[in-house]
A and B are shown apart, each in its own frame.
Chain A
Amino acid sequence: MNVLTLTARELGRLLRGRLTWLVLALTALSPAAGLTVLRFTASETMLSRCVADPALAAGVLGGLLFALLTLWDSARASKSRVEVLTDAAVSPLTAALARLAALLVTAALALVLTTLAWLPWTAYTVGAVFDGLDYLLAYGILMGLALPLCILLAGAAWQFTRRFDLSLVLVAVLAALSLTVWRGEWQLCWLNPCVWALSDDFSNFRVLRSAAYMRLTWLLGLAGVWALSWLCIRRYGKGPLGSLARSARRVYRPLLALALLLCCGWSYAAQPFIDRSNPDLTVMSFFEIPYLEGVTFVSRTAQVFPDTKAGTVSGRASFRFENTSGQEQKVAFGVNPGYTVSDVRANGVDVPFTVSAYQEYNEALLEVTIPADGEVELTMAYRGYPQESIPTMQGGKELSAEYLCLENSALSPRLMNVLPGEDGYPAAIEITLPEAMTVIPFGSSEAEIIAEHDNGTRTWRYEDNGTGGILYAGDYVREDMEAGGIHIQFYYGRKHQAVMEAVGAADAVQAVVDYCTQHYGPLSFGAGESLKLIQSRVAGGGYAADGASLLDEAGFTIANLADGAKGAAAGEVFIHELVHQWWGLGNMFDTADPSSPWSAEGLTVYTTYRIAKELYGEDYAVENYVDQWRAAVDDYYLNFYVRCPEYLDALPEAERLAISNALSGMRQYSEMPLKILKAQELVGGEEAMDEILKGLFTRELDPMYPYLTYQEFLDACGLTEEDLSLD
């Protein structure tokens, strides 16, 4: 019997069934659930909203539909007694194989139909940042691989139990576990992979690789379980165990099932993506390692060679020390847990070293014994797949020809226990990357190209001072400008170029920096004369230090730039996001209390209004900001749930949250700016308010609680909460 021929007939039979087409149609529609009720990602990037969520929803719903189809088709053959005929013609094992193959082909058809059906809408909605490869990979991995998993699971459940109801319960239990208890366990949430965000402007290989790895691990496992259940297919009138004993007589069959299960176990244990850092973040033992007596740092160099296709890094690091102790010393480094260290030599001689199994804060401890020589040059090689620490926010260590971020020990081993020399920790880093990538050291350092190679790569070099360091590189557009008395380097992803140009990003940067520096003061993290503004891959927020500030791409998505609460036009929303460099990053705010209007948004919206007023005139600013806030606040005070909050508590949680969030957003984006405007009137006008805000911005920070509070604002204005009441 030719299984392929039989599969073709099974497929033909399956495709003649109405239920099959119903399943195909519902699967093709299921991405719509990801746009509404079944959202999985936590980010607002366009690809998260329009690709990842729909694909994940299609994976969950389509998978469950195919599980149902599998069970229904299997149960029907048995219940309607067609099996009696087929079993007399061919071995039930062969028939089961053909049925599985036919279902898998049908699932592939569902994937193709769904992908094609949603392509036009997605491409149109995502707009300039749409990427066909991301789209195909996301649908293939997040949706497509869910379908065979569900088919295998349902098929195995049926073959073990021969009961539709019991099999359905088994599938439902495993699906429910994935959607609830295992939701945060990236290797266990087999139905809904831990994808918290997809980047619009840079690549997504890391997070998609991780999802694919998890899915392949489960595929191995469920294929093994299915193979085991396949051996239990009832034959010769025997029960599951009797049939197993009979079918397992061909030894390769149980061996194959066992091999699949073992491969699954190995794949689970040997995952390369996430480290095993101590989950207790209060433990910081690596920071408590005492400095060595008599050993001081002289310099370090590193040559780093990222493999942008494989997502791996190899490199060589060299450290020079002065050892005046006259003894051997054990130097400690932090290395990324995904790296293997080798070829460790001191002054050209191999020296002993160990890498700890214990990991903390995304580092393992590398300890190297250096000789008693007065001057020691320590060299080492490292290579591997950089691991991350937070399984539910993967993607930070993206490494591709479009983008990479290497932080501290992922860039080169980070020295832990040697005191700095007279020059601190001078370092020279060389990194070789595809020529389309621009290297951006995070900080005031400048990278320069020192070599161009025939294979289309370039070697960049920059100098730094520190034991670690952060490096960004990617397919960036760089715009230079003078603003606020400093030189600004503004970097953004080339995929976002059309959007950035449409909103007049460079002019906006200039306007904001000029305005805010003049009115509130320079940014504390500016390096005196220069500031890098770097658009980063979606990271859950930005950060700033030492002459550089990171702008999370999520703030500049097409959807966000159309958010009327933040600005009257896309360019003004862009201004709003830049103003957060002052209110939000330069001056931090504690996590917003949902019931309070006070957050970084109030001052940011107010400042955006002031900039718009300066750029476009008072009439424009009043019409597009103040009038809008008033209208929103009037609506807010008339809102039924604001007037009768007890009814809000009676609503289901999901609805309550949706309404609460909407009300909270209104308080922060409309009510607070109006209160600040009222405060401005009460304190004597714009200039007086600018002085107050400047004072707050440049105030002495309490390192234990560096956040700007509402009370501080009120105190600075000499007002009370009641004074700012809008009733």
Chain B
Amino acid sequence: MQISLQELTMTYPSGKRALQGVNLELDSPSLVGLLGPNGAGKSTLMKLLVAGLLPTGGAVRVDGEPLLRRERALKARLGYLPQDFGLYDELTVTEFLDYMAALKGLQDSRAAIQSAIEEVHLEEKARAKIRTLSGGQRQRVGIAQALLGEPELLIFDEPTVGLDPEERIHFRNLFSRLAQRRLVLLSTHIIEDVQSVCSRLLVLHRGKLRFDGPPEELIRAAEGHVGTFDETGGEREEGLHITARVNTARGVACRAVAEALPPYVQPAEPTLEDAYLYLISGEGEA
């Protein structure tokens, strides 16, 4: 599957401009991480990709054709987990997945449901009413419905919210495995989730695509712009963005990014988080 975004712009009726001139090419198989602060336009971009919204400018093309012309085909090949979703509480996990399988028009729904339940480790809860599930289990049901029918395009918006660390690692690996044969778009706030598995990273900020490339490239761009220092309470340099504070025996140890590090800041090896923060702090341009 190939998705092409051309000068994609989305302005809401309220006047808020969520996306501005985004150009992208997404090909399968790949696992694409989508990063950006709140309000950057990530969810809007995803809604545009699943035909939940129509762009006010530019175009989304699927396999070379306008998305709306291939909307039905796209939905048949799509697994989508939005950030905020609901489930029918009165159904069991299996019944809900059966319902979603019918919506997706799956022929062999029983095998697909079984497979999805196993993928998200909900075998023991397969016959439990959804109203009895915990928040993390409900999130897993959401992931399971997206996996139904082995869709060619998987779009996950904050999929690991509410999951415990062990489950997060499981799903991170699952997404990585799924991406071997599919196009997976993973939007998250959790940098770790994308750092270890994504081959490609997109960073959106204020509706614009600020970075498109492998994570290493983003890290490289931050080299020489990340450092540490002990906070003394004195005046801080203009342009120095503290990214972490840690209480130590010597006081508060700070980690910061800046276009030019002040002399009292010891240069440090950038992490992906540093690089991301450096990028969106407005100091760096990929």
Q: Is residue A644 within 8 Å, beta carbon to beta carbon, of the partner chain? A: no
Please list 16 pairs of residues, one from A and one from B, whose beta carbons are closer than 8 Å in the complex, sorted by A's number. A6-B103, A9-B98, A16-B95, A18-B90, A81-B82, A81-B84, A81-B86, A82-B85, A82-B88, A85-B82, A86-B100, A89-B78, A90-B103, A90-B104, A95-B103, A238-B54
Check B105 against A13 for contact (C-beta < 8 Å). no
In the complex, B51 has a CB within 8 A of chain A: yes
The digit string for A248-274, where 1 denotes a CB below 8 A from any CB of B, is: 000000000000000000000000000
Question: Does B190 lie at the interface of the complex (its beta carbon under 8 Å from any beta carbon of A)?
Answer: no
Point out the residue from B53, B98, B100 that lies within 8 Å of A89, measured CB to CB: B100
Among A18, A88, A246, the one with the most B-chain Cβ atoms within 10 Å of its Cβ is A88
Partner of B52, one of A80, A87, A95: A87
* Docked pose: A88 CA to B100 CA in angstroms: 10
Chain A residues with CB below 8 A from B78, complex form: 88-89
- Supposing A81-B84, A88-B75 touch, asked if A17 and B103 sit within 8 A by C-beta, the answer is no
Q: Are B103 and A84 in contact (CB under 8 A)?
A: no
In the complex where A13-B95, A82-B85 touch, is A1 in contact with B90 (Cβ < 8 A)? Answer: no
Q: Which residue of B lies closest to A20 (CB)?
A: B90
Contact with B along A51-91 (1 / 0, CB 8 A): 00000000000000000000000000001111111111111
A57, B218: Cα distance in complex, Å: 71
Bitwise, B243-261 to A at CB < 8 A (1) or not (0) is 0000000000000000000
Contact A9 B99 (CB under 8 A): yes
Q: Which of B1-46 contact A (CB under 8 A)?
A: 12-13
Interface mask (B86-99 → A, CB under 8 Å = 1, otherwise 0): 11111100010011
The one of B85, B88, B145 that contacts A13, using a Cβ cutoff of 8 Å: B88
A12 touches B145 (CB 8 A): no
A237 within 8 A of B: yes
Additional A-B contact list (11), CB under 8 Å, known A10-B99, A87-B52, A88-B82: A1-B103, A13-B99, A80-B87, A81-B82, A81-B84, A82-B88, A85-B82, A85-B100, A88-B80, A89-B103, A91-B71
Cβ contacts under 8 Å, B54 to chain A: 236-238, 246
B208 close to chain A: CB less than 8 A: no
Whether the Cβ atoms of B95 and A236 lie closer than 8 Å is no
B75: contacting residue among A16, A90, A236, CB under 8 A: A90
B50 at the interface (CB under 8 A from A): yes
Q: Are A82 and B52 in contact (CB under 8 A)?
A: no
Q: Which residue of A lies closest to B55 (CB)?
A: A236
Q: A interface, how many residues as a size bin?
A: 20 to 34
Given contacts A80-B86, A95-B103, contact A89 B75 (CB under 8 A): yes
A455 within 8 A of B: no
Q: Does B142 contact A (CB under 8 A)?
A: yes
CA distance A598 to B108 in the complex (A): 80
Chain B residue contacts of A87, Cβ below 8 A: 52
Q: Which residues of A contact B71 (CB under 8 A)?
A: 91
Nearest 10 CB-CB pairs, A to B?
A80-B86, A81-B86, A9-B102, A89-B103, A88-B80, A236-B54, A237-B53, A82-B86, A90-B103, A84-B82
A239 to B71, CA, bound (A): 20
Interchain nearest-CB distance for A157 vs B (Å): 22
Closest-by-CB residue of B relative to A87 is: B52
Contact A85 B85 (CB under 8 A): yes
Q: Does A285 sit within 8 A of B, measured CB to CB? A: no
Q: Which residue of B lies closest to A10 (CB)?
A: B99
A contact residues around B105 at 8 Å (CB): 1-2, 5, 90
For residue A516, give the distance in angstroms from its CB to the closest CB of chain B.
Answer: 69
B103 near A236 with CB under 8 A, answer: no
> Which among B47, B82, B98 is the interface contact of A237 at CB below 8 angstroms?
B47
* B88 → chain A closest CB, angstroms: 6
In whole angstroms, what is the CA distance A308 to B51 when docked?
58
Whether A12 touches B95, Cβ cut-off 8 Å, given contacts A80-B87, A86-B103, A237-B52, is yes
Q: Which residues of A contact B72 (CB under 8 A)?
A: 1, 91
Please report which residues of chain A, range 1-53, place their CB below 8 angstroms from some CB of chain B when the two chains form the complex. Answer: 1-2, 5-6, 8-10, 12-13, 16-18
Question: For residue A238, which residue of chain B has the nearest CB?
Answer: B54
Chain A residue with Cβ nearest B145: A85
B80 and A85: CB pair below 8 A? yes
Collect the chain A residues with CB atoms within 8 Å of residue B95's CB.
12-13, 16
Contacting pair A236 B99 (CB below 8 A): no
CA distance A79 to B85 in the complex (A): 10
**Are A89 and B104 in contact, CB atoms less than 8 angstroms apart?**
yes
CA distance A81 to B142 in the complex (A): 12
Q: Which residue of B lies closest to A83 (CB)?
A: B86
Docked Cα-Cα span, A246 to B71, in Å, equals: 14
Residue of B nearest to A82 (CB): B86
B71 nearest CB across to chain A (Å): 8
Give the distance in Å from the alpha carbon of A91 to the alpha carbon of B74 in the complex: 11
Docked pose: A95 CA to B90 CA in angstroms: 19
Tell me which residues across on chain A come within 8 A of B47, comparing CB atoms.
237
**When the two chains form their complex, are residues A88 and B50 in contact, meaning their CB atoms are under 8 A apart?**
yes
* Chain A stretch 396-420: residues in CB contact (< 8 A) with chain B: none
**Contact partners of A5 in chain B: CB under 8 A:** 102, 105
List, in ascending order, chain B residues with CB within 8 A of A12's CB: 95, 99
State the Cβ distance, B12 to closest chain A Cβ, in Å: 8
Query: In the complex the two chains form, what is the Cα distance from A615 to B89 in whole Å?
Result: 73
**CA distance in complex: A382, B99 (Å):** 59
> Which B residues are CB-close (under 8 A) to A13?
88, 90-91, 95, 99
A236 and B52: CB pair below 8 A? Answer: yes
Contacts of B87 in A (CB 8 A): 80, 82, 85
Among A12, A18, A90, residue most surrounded by chain B Cβ atoms (within 10 Å) = A90
CB closest residue in chain B, given A236:
B54
Give A236 to B67 CA distance when docked, in angstroms.
12
CB distance from A587 to the nearest CB of B (A): 68
Min C-beta distance of B44 to chain A, whole Å: 9
Instruction: Write out the residue numbers on chain A whose beta carbons fall within 8 Å of the beta carbon of B52.
Output: 84, 87-88, 236-237
CA distance A632 to B175 in the complex (A): 87
The minimal Cβ–Cβ distance linking B70 to chain A, given in whole angstroms, is 13
Q: B86 near A236 (CB under 8 angstroms)?
A: no
Nearest CB on A from B41, distance (A): 14
Are the C-beta atoms of B75 and A84 separated by less than 8 Å? no
Bound together, the chains give a CA A310 to CA B113 distance in angstroms of: 55
Min CB distance A3 to B, Å, is: 10
Closest to B51 in A: A236
Separation of A440 and B72 alpha carbons in the complex (Å)? 68
Complex CA distance for A16 and B98, rounded to whole angstroms: 14
User: Which of A12, A82, A246 counts the most chain B CB atoms within 10 A?
Assistant: A82
> Which residues of chain A are within 8 angstroms of B13 by Cβ–Cβ distance?
239
- CA A13 to CA B88, docked complex, whole Å: 8
- How many whole Å from B86's CB to the nearest CB in chain A? 3
On chain B, the residues within 8 Å of A246 by CB distance are 54
- With both beta carbons as reference points, the residue of chain B lying nearest to A88 in the complex is identified as B80
- From A9, A84, A88, A237, give the contact of B84 (CB < 8 A): A84
State whether A17 touches B90 (Cβ < 8 A).
yes
Please give me the residue from chain B that is nearest to A239 by CB atom. B13
B53 neighbours in A (Cβ, 8 Å)? 236-237
Cα(A16)–Cα(B180), bound, Å: 39
On whether A84 and B86 interact (CB within 8 A), knowing A6-B103, A16-B95, the answer reads yes
Residues 168-214 of A contacting B (Cβ, < 8 Å):
none
Q: Which residues of A contact B142 (CB under 8 A)?
A: 85
Alpha-carbon distance A5/B102, docked complex (angstroms): 7
| A70-122, CB < 8 A from B | 79-91, 95
CA distance A237 to B11 in the complex (A): 11
- CB nearest neighbor in A for B80: A88
Q: Residue-by-residue, is B217-238 near A (CB-CB < 8 Å gives 1, otherwise 0)?
A: 0000000000000000000000
Task: Looking at the assembled complex, report how far the CB atom of B89 sits from the nearest CB atom of chain A, in whole angstroms.
Answer: 8
CA distance A80 to B103 in the complex (A): 18
A579 to B53, CA, bound (A): 80
**Min distance, Cβ A124 to any Cβ of chain B, angstroms:** 38
B88 proximity list for chain A (CB < 8 A): 13, 80, 82
Chain A nearest CB from B128 CB (Å) reads 14
Contact partners of A91 in chain B: CB under 8 A: 71-72, 75
